[in-house]
Structure 1
Amino acid sequence: MTNIFTAEGLASFSDRIHKLTADTKPLWGKMTVDQMLAHVNVAYEMVYEPEKHPKPKGLMKWLLRKFVKPNVVNEVPYKRNSRTAPVFLIKDRKDFETEKNRLLDYLNKTQQLGASHFDGKNSHSFGPLTFTEWNNLFSKHLDHHLTQFGV
């Protein structure tokens, strides 16, 4: 698993993102490249712009922590065409350059804050996570979608 908190990990992901163009087609799935970038950005919005997405409550909060969290924070890659949470669904087209730059900014900020900033930090949906769980959450999701688009 690429360590998103290191300069090397950041460079690896940045290089792959820079290989995308507005015309890059997916190898599977229905999202366009701009929608994919916006989709990936949602995970970072939940960290850096938490007011943008309401936190789950009650039964939904329990279900997410009990059943979804273990699959999201482990190191097992996502399967192709896996279901996604409604908050991550991007139905409209987005501006490719805007979404790409937002993602690069989020990645830079995450790497600069470092693993220690995230160790024990509360996740929007899953409660407190270790820095390894945060890395897996970010890295696995990003790798899955960059692979989806052939980079």
Structure 2
Amino acid sequence: MSLPNIFYKEVSDKIIERINYLNAESKPQWGTMSVAQIPAHCNVSYEMIYENIHPKPNAFLKFILKILVKNKVVGELPYPHNSKTAPQFIIKETKNFEAEKQRLIDYSNKTQQLGENYFDNKEFHLFGKLNKIKWNNMLYKHLQHHLSQFGV
């Protein structure tokens, strides 16, 4: 089974359409994050790709992440509900929902426009180099998980 390819415009457009169904009143079907925290949480992956604002793990922690976490994140199996969230992805502060939602849409568009060849064998902050399939799985699966969490 392969996941839809987030680098294809029609898949990316469908994700953005689903993001746009979120509104400030949306309630989660599971989990503890608010609707304003979810786009901010999803934006962390993109910040690790495009921004230099998150500290990189040291070599030992990166090794542990590769062994214990990487395959769960880049594989095709969906995340279970109420999965443990990595510390970098925990959003505690109040966020501006509309601003975070727009950032997520902008990041999604940028990723699609850069395309899968840009990502093929590109270094990821936490796991090292990933091929384009693993990049797709990681990005698509994370968005799928949280959009489903809010019923969109």
**TM-score range normalised by the length of the shorter chain:** over 0.9
Shift of 1:2: 2.1
| 1:1-150 alignment, distance < 5 Å | 1-49=3-51, 51-150=52-151
Q: Percent identity?
A: 54
Q: Give deviations 1:29-54, integer Å, cap 9, x for gaps.
A: 111011011000000000000x2000
Letter in 2 for 1:143: Q
Q: Secondary structure at the match of 1:33?
A: coil
Number of residue pairs the alignment of both structures matches: 150
Deviation for aligned residue 1:59: 1.9
Unaligned runs of at least 5 residues, structure 1: none
RMSD over equivalenced CA pairs, Å: 0.6
Cα deviations by residue, 1:48-101 (Å, 9 ceiling, x for unpaired): 00x200000132111011111011000000000000110000001100110000
Distance 2:130 2:141 in 1: 15
Q: Name the TM-score, length of structure 2 as normaliser.
A: 0.97
What is the one-letter code of the residue matched to 1:140?
K
Query: Partner of 1:10: helix, strand, or coil?
Result: helix
Ranges in structure 2 where 5+ consecutive residues have no aligned partner: none
Q: What is the DSSP-based 3-state SS (H/G/I as helix, E as strand, rest coil) of the residue aligned with 2:151?
A: coil
Please give the secondary structure, in 2, of the residue aligned with 1:52. coil
